[in-house]
Amino acid sequence: MFSRTWQRLSSVVLSLVSAPAAMADWELNMPQGVTEVSQSIYDLHMLIFWICVWIGVVVFGVMFYSIFTHRKSKGAKASQFHESVGLELLWTAVPTAILIAMAVPATTTLVEMYDTTDTDIDIKITGHQWKWQYDYLGEDVGFFSNLTTSQDEIYDRTAKGENYLLEVDKHVVVPTGKKIRFLITSNDVIHAWWVPEIAVKKDAIPGYINESWAIVPEGQEGLYRGQCAELCGVDHGFMPIVLEAVTPAEYEVWLVDQRAAAEAEAAAALGDFSHEELMTKGAEVYARSCAACHGVEGAGMGNVFPALVGSPIATGDMAAHIDIVINGKSGTAMQAFAAQLSEVDLAAVITYERNAWGNDTGDTVTPKMIIDAKQ
Amino acid sequence: MTTATAHHDDHGHHGPAKGIMRWVLTTNHKDIGTMYLWFAFTMLFIGGAMALIIRTELFQPGMQLIEPEFFNQMTTMHGLIMVFGAIMPAFVGLANWMVPLMVGAPDMALPRMNNWSFWILPFAFGMLLFTLFTEAGAPNFGWTFYAPLSTTYAPSSVTFFIFGVHMMGISSIMGAINIIATILNLRAPGMTLMKMPLFVWTWLITAYLLIAVMPVLAGVVTMMLMDIHFGTSFFDAAGGGDPVLFQHVFWFFGHPEVYIMILPAFGIVSQIIPTFARKPLFGYASMVYATSSIAFLSFIVWAHHMFTVGLPLQTELFFMYATMLIAIPTGVKVFNWVSTMFRGSMTFETPMLFALAFVVLFTIGGFSGLMLAIAPADFQYHDTYFVVAHFHYVLVPGALFGIIAGVYYWLPKWTGHYYDEKLGKFHFWMSFIGVNVTFFPMHFIGLAGMPRRIPDYALQFADFNAIASVGAFIFGFSQLIFLYLLIKTIRGGEKATDEVWEGAEGLEWTIPSPAPYHTFAEAPEVK
Amino acid sequence: MTDSPKTSFKAGKTALKLVLAAVAMFGFGFALVPLYDVFCEFTGINGKITGPVERVEQWVDTTRTIKVQFITTNNAGMPWEFEALQEEIEVHPGAWTQVEFWALNPTQKDMVGQAVPSVSPSEATEYVQKTECFCFSQQTLAAGEGRKMPLIFALDSKLPPHIRTVTMSYTIFDAGAFAEK
């Protein structure tokens, strides 16, 4: 009932305003989402909304009636009544009753949202500047999840993809039909993890652990996209979330695959790589993990993030360069990438930085050097 | 004493001193009111320019105009300037002009402190705006400056920010002290508290709120200063502190602060509607009690800004219930305004248009506020554009329209000229259209999932963002009409009578227009 | 300009009282800091656990076991290896248990770390008793040094029945700036 009227209204508005991108929707309302909790929240939202609409209709109705009827130009004469205890009591009591009525379903829903008991799966979520890290407790699976939208798309150099700003390299995969507990914290500043379709939003606070939960019902397998919801610095708008709900069977397979991939990566670090292979991979890693701050062409960003082109670190002592990438630089936004990137990726990206954009040191950093540096 | 003062101010003349030193040294409440108002108007344009930069960047997905780093500086500075530089000083300016006139006092209780209260502000904001041109850039952590983003991870301008906040706070506190001292001690004989105009009542209550919470703001920025420079760890878990403590202390200030920004507007509207309806305000006593209830309640609702922080269940429920309760006295006020109109004999001059728009649009902002109060639903609204829509509705067609209404209402008294009514109405309609085209779509994009404080967004948010940006330009440029109108009216126009508006009641309408430099040297009789 | 000396005196008195009120509220702002801790301790919220307790042998509730998880986080700029040697154990409420954590400083400099505890669900915080925890004090590790750090704890026998899992989280910070002399 609600949405049809609004759709008609919005098509009127549409015809008055030339809409730029054909891909943009005219979303007017909160999603109902796919979980019971998200549906309860949606229902609560609509209930309060309708109560407000009806109160508005009555109050503004009286007001507009008055504006049209009680005007001097129509010869209205002003009455002088100016108080009524009875009326004041009435319009204090009635809103109070309405509010109490609202508070009941609100309380029930909130109590439900706070019940994190008896979960099947626990996922620790750590917010970083500016990406999310996921660890599946007891499963030996953990990874970082970075935005994959390219700088070229962001700066209007190429066309924007369908999931512009809402796509990542690694999805957080969960099984349907199971109760999932999210343990949320932060590595640096306050972030917030939010996926609207499952109605989970919780602040990620450094030093403290917050929790939330969700059950994605069986049959609701799919991709659900969310964003960081607390200002956390420069790239606050560029650290999205993609939750992938799969069947329990697929989830088990995925866990096995993740462990295998991690092992393969560790093993690969012991192998040999040519300079060209490292450069190719390095360019990929750089685009995904470094370009957002250090610039697509290594030019940095103003005074905030240093340029790598011709930088003393990227063209100077190799050990110092490796150290700063692996261990970060305390007191700055440069993180310790040892936890985030495999030894192969680390070797590749450092090799790339030392040779791209005219840096041309001719150096090759191998994964074995990274392993040694980490000792 | 009177003779000595006459020598001191006037050198024997009845009028003000000449030249720029008049303004630097003035202790006259009318002069100081005028300075506050022009200062606030200037800050409105500066903050407004920042808003237009923001809305231009957000006109389309993608980064076209500025970098994300500068965008964060714009959103932060826009908030700080509008809250502390535009809205609050504008209300103080109106208080300075009108409170002594309304209570029949010759001036504010502490005129020299009044001068300092004003002159601190240009220095404070000069310092804050200067940071935009430094290498480190302006503050970029949001006007709510949560730790540790604003402590451990802040640019060096944070120290200037802290000093600026201290200065603004001192200015506000001194202003509030002056207002209370004036209202409690300088009322003309016969003006009991329950005979005071509503604008005076709302300012009395606002002044108490200011004294209660501005020092807490000073406390929290001092704690920040200590964490940043003196090795303490109020908000740093590494040293035993807590980032959430910051939020509690900040919002203990922050929630009463938003009532500080709206209560005087309630007072203004409560003066204007009875005048143009030619009918007394309905439920005067009830309005006083409702305003007082809102003020008391404002102290116990702060954590509704923190529903997603991880509060324990009982705490979250308490703050939800307390926040919902504020709807009651607020609703009572709206009903009283409508009852004032009902069976009145209304005309629709510009002040009345702004006041009526206030009633409707502030109420819409109140409705979204009630929705936000519902904690479970807030998990989907928090930190989205739904919140941005809510607070812009209560602040722009709320507080700002209240201020503009007051300016139109009292301008003939200040200048001695009626303003051009056609131009005033044009300004109104352009502002009304602009404000709704800008902020109504924000409800939708917020519900659809667009977070706050992001410089770029996913494609499904594009259309409404484009509309909002167009609206912002309409609204912004419409204020130039107001600027033109103000200057035109100051310079000339149809001569205004003492009463100015048929149906206007109150001591301020018993003196000539323009108001003489010194008024009520002899206390008037109040029946 | 005021009407008379009497009024100006009264106005001055009002002003003085309000100045005192403002100063008091400034003090109140600072008082909120310890008040916050007092409130947290009193209600056990915010996952803030107070210092070591006396080991008291209490009744062990063998009718149920609680899953206790241990998770660790490194704060930004803290490059230590830091992990729980047991990720998950089952305990009876009331039973004293010891677990161990591993910390290693891989850098070339001596460093001081501070671990900050946090418990989930937060209502379980008041039921966690510890006699020994590396989180009670700063830990100094020389360059390249690593060691095991014990945690001895018990869940109060009165742990409410609806709590069946307790997650204990430790975040390690570089506490060099706050190093105790």
Residues from chain B that touch A20, judged by Cβ atoms under 8 A, are 60, 462-463, 466
Q: Which of B69, B238, B459 comes nearest A160 by C-beta? A: B459
pLDDT for the residue numbered A13:
52
Residues from chain B that touch C139, judged by Cβ atoms under 8 A, are none
Pairwise CA distance, residues C76 & C78, whole Å: 5
Per DSSP, the residues of C115-179 read: EEEEEESGGGGGGEEEEEEGGGS-EEE-TT-EEEEEEEEEE-TT--TT--EEEEEEEEEE-GGG-
Structure tokens given for B83: 């809250």
Q: In this complex, do A209 and C164 lie within 8 Å of one another by their Cβ atoms?
A: no
Q: Report which residue type is found at B228.
A: I
Nearest-Å Rg of the Cα atoms of chain A is 28
Q: In this complex, do B107 and C2 lie within 8 Å of one another by their Cβ atoms?
A: yes
**What is the layout of strands, in order, in the sheet containing C146-155?**
C81-84, C97-104, C146-155, C128-133
What is C66-178's CATH number? 2.60.370.10
Q: In this complex, do B459 and A162 lie within 8 Å of one another by their Cβ atoms?
A: yes
Distance (Å) from the alpha carbon of C75 to chain A's nearest alpha carbon: 5
Residues of B known to be catalytic: 78, 107, 143, 171-172, 255, 257, 259, 270, 304-305, 330, 333, 452
Instruction: Calculate the alpha carbon distances from A340 to A118, A285, A345, A373, B509 in Å.
Output: 31, 11, 9, 16, 72
Instruction: Calculate the alpha carbon distances from B61 to A152, A155, B285, B302, B455 in Å.
Output: 13, 9, 52, 34, 9
Residues from chain A that touch B309, judged by Cβ atoms under 8 A, are 203, 205, 210
pLDDT tens for C3-57 read: 577 777 888 899 999 999 999 999 999 998 888 878 777 765 655 666 788 888 8
Distance (Å) from the alpha carbon of A153 to chain C's nearest alpha carbon: 29
Structure tokens given for A267: 């093993």
Does the pLDDT at position A23 exceed 50?
Answer: no
Residues from chain B that touch A99, judged by Cβ atoms under 8 A, are 324-325, 327-328
Under 8 Å between Cβ of B275 and B505:
yes
Phi, psi of B415 (to 5 degrees): -100, -20
H, E, C per residue of B266-318 = HHHHHHHHHHHHCCCCCCHHHHHHHHHHHHHHHHHCHHHHCCCCCCCHHHHHH
pLDDT for the residue numbered A288:
86
pLDDT for the residue numbered B16:
77
Q: Which of A126, A137, A187 comes nearest C69 by C-beta? A: A137
Q: In this complex, do C116 and B182 lie within 8 Å of one another by their Cβ atoms?
A: no
Q: Report which residue type is found at B177.
A: I
Pairwise CA distance, residues A338 & A323, whole Å: 10
Residues from chain A that touch B328, judged by Cβ atoms under 8 A, are 92, 95-96, 99
Q: Which of A118, A211, A329 comes nearest C120 by C-beta? A: A211
Q: In this complex, do C167 and A185 lie within 8 Å of one another by their Cβ atoms?
A: no
Q: In this complex, do C19 and B177 lie within 8 Å of one another by their Cβ atoms?
A: yes
Distance (Å) from the alpha carbon of C25 to chain B's nearest alpha carbon: 6
Q: Where are the domains of chain C?
A: 66-178
Residue in B74, B83, B86 with CA at minimum distance from that of residue B142: B74
- Other CB atoms within a 10 A radius of the CB of residue B303 amount to 22
Q: Which of A116, A206, A336 comes nearest C121 by C-beta? A: A116
Residues from chain A that touch B461, judged by Cβ atoms under 8 A, are 24, 27
Under 8 Å between Cβ of B307 and B382:
yes
Q: In this complex, do A207 and C173 lie within 8 Å of one another by their Cβ atoms?
A: yes
Residues from chain B that touch C32, judged by Cβ atoms under 8 A, are 216, 219, 245, 248-249, 252
Q: How buried is C175 (Cβ within 10 angstroms: 0-12 exposed, 13-18 middle, 19+ buried)? A: buried
pLDDT tens for B466-518 read: 999 999 999 999 999 999 999 999 999 999 999 999 989 999 999 999 999 99
B525: which DSSP letter? P
Structure tokens given for A369: 């050097």
> Is the peptide bond prior to B514 cis by the omega test (within 30 degrees of 0)?
yes
pLDDT for the residue numbered B55:
98
Under 8 Å between Cβ of C148 and C102:
yes
CA atoms within 13 A on the CB side of B332: 29
B196: which DSSP letter? S
Phi, psi of B11 (to 5 degrees): 50, 35
Our measurement of the distance from residue A76's CA atom to the centroid of its chain's CA atoms, rounded to an integer in Å, reads 58
Range A22-26 average pLDDT: 45
CB pairs under 8 A between B and C: 122
Mutate to test the interface with C, among B177, B184, B249 (most CBs of C within 10 A): B177
Does the pLDDT at position A18 exceed 90?
Answer: no
Structure tokens given for A21: 């991108």
Distance (Å) from the alpha carbon of B271 to chain C's nearest alpha carbon: 26
Q: In this complex, do C14 and B180 lie within 8 Å of one another by their Cβ atoms?
A: yes
Per DSSP, the residues of B322-378 read: HHHHTHHHHHHHHHHHHHHHTT--B---HHHHHHHHHHHHHHHHHHHHHHHHSHHHH
Residues from chain B that touch A194, judged by Cβ atoms under 8 A, are 383, 451
The neighbouring-strand residues paired with C112 are: C140
Distance (Å) from the alpha carbon of C71 to chain A's nearest alpha carbon: 8
**What is the layout of strands, in order, in the sheet containing A191-195?**
A172-175, A241-246, A222-228, A191-195, A200-204
Domains in chain A, please, with CATH?
Answer: 27-113 (1.10.287.90), 121-265 (2.60.40.420), 270-374 (1.10.760.10)
H, E, C per residue of chain A = CHHHHHHHHHHHHHHHCCCCCCCCCCCCCCCCCCCHHHHHHHHHHHHHHHHHHHHHHHHHHHHHHHHHHCEHHHCCCCCCCCCCHHHHHHHHHHHHHHHHHHHHHHHHHHHHHCCCCCCCEEEEEEEECCEEEEEECCCCEEEEECECCCHHHHCCCCCCCCCCCCCECCCEEEECCCEEEEEEEECCCCEEEEEHHHCEEEEECECCCEEEEEECCCCCCEEEEEEECCCCCCCHHHCCEEEEEECHHHHHHHHHHHHHHHHHHHHHCCCCCCHHHHHHHHHHHHHHHCHHHHCCCCCCECCCECCCCCCHHHHCCHHHHHHHHHHCCCCCCCCCCCCCCCHHHHHHHHHHHHHCCCCCCCCCCCHHHHHHHHC
H, E, C per residue of B130-143 = HHHHCCCCCCCCCC
Distance (Å) from the alpha carbon of C149 to chain A's nearest alpha carbon: 19
pLDDT for the residue numbered A10:
52
Range A56-77 average pLDDT: 95
Residue in B35, B89, B45 with CA at minimum distance from that of residue B478: B45
Structure tokens given for A237: 């708008």
Does the pLDDT at position A15 exceed 50?
Answer: no
With tokens 């603004």, the residue in question is B168
Range A99-120 average pLDDT: 95
Residue in C100, C130, C98 with CA at minimum distance from that of residue C117: C130
CA atoms within 13 A on the CB side of A61: 6
Name chain A's partners: 3 or more CB pairs within 8 A.
B, C
Pairwise CA distance, residues A226 & B489, whole Å: 52
Does the pLDDT at position A144 exceed 70?
Answer: yes
Name chain C's partners: 3 or more CB pairs within 8 A.
A, B
Under 8 Å between Cβ of B252 and C32:
yes
Share of chain A above pLDDT 70, in %: 93
Q: In this complex, do A44 and B376 lie within 8 Å of one another by their Cβ atoms?
A: yes
The ipTM estimated for the assembled molecules is 0.93
pLDDT for the residue numbered A6:
55
Residue in A54, A78, A73 with CA at minimum distance from that of residue B341: A78
Share of chain C above pLDDT 90, in %: 62
pLDDT for the residue numbered B324:
97
Q: In this complex, do A165 and B61 lie within 8 Å of one another by their Cβ atoms?
A: yes
Q: In this complex, do A110 and B243 lie within 8 Å of one another by their Cβ atoms?
A: no
- Nearest chain A residue to B459 by CA distance is A24
Mutate to test the interface with A, among C68, C169, C170, C178 (most CBs of A within 10 A): C169
The alpha carbon dihedral of A349, A352, A353, A354 has a sign of positive
Distance (Å) from the alpha carbon of B107 to chain C's nearest alpha carbon: 6
Q: In this complex, do B281 and A102 lie within 8 Å of one another by their Cβ atoms?
A: no
Point out the residues of chain B with pLDDT beneath 70. Answer: 1-15
First to last CA, chain C: 58
Does the pLDDT at position A174 exceed 70?
Answer: yes
Instruction: Calculate the alpha carbon distances from A316 to A263, A324, A361, B401 in Å.
Output: 33, 12, 8, 61
Pairwise CA distance, residues A114 & B373, whole Å: 17
Under 8 Å between Cβ of B265 and B218:
no
Domains in chain B, please, with CATH?
Answer: 32-253 (1.20.210.10), 262-517 (1.20.210.10)
Instruction: Calculate the alpha carbon distances from A50 to A1, A102, A197, A296, B210 in Å.
Output: 12, 12, 22, 49, 36
- Nearest chain C residue to A185 by CA distance is C73
Share of chain C above pLDDT 70, in %: 91
pLDDT for the residue numbered B7:
42
Q: In this complex, do B1 and C4 lie within 8 Å of one another by their Cβ atoms?
A: yes
Distance (Å) from the alpha carbon of C168 to chain A's nearest alpha carbon: 9
Residues from chain C that touch A188, judged by Cβ atoms under 8 A, are 75-76
Q: In this complex, do B180 and C123 lie within 8 Å of one another by their Cβ atoms?
A: no
Nearest-Å Rg of the Cα atoms of chain C is 24
Residues from chain C that touch A211, judged by Cβ atoms under 8 A, are 120-121, 167
Q: In this complex, do A87 and B339 lie within 8 Å of one another by their Cβ atoms?
A: yes
Q: Report which residue type is found at A218.
A: E
First to last CA, chain A: 65
Residues from chain C that touch A374, judged by Cβ atoms under 8 A, are 106
Pairwise CA distance, residues B273 & B279, whole Å: 8
pLDDT for the residue numbered B287:
97
Pairwise CA distance, residues A192 & A202, whole Å: 5
CB pairs under 8 A between A and B: 305
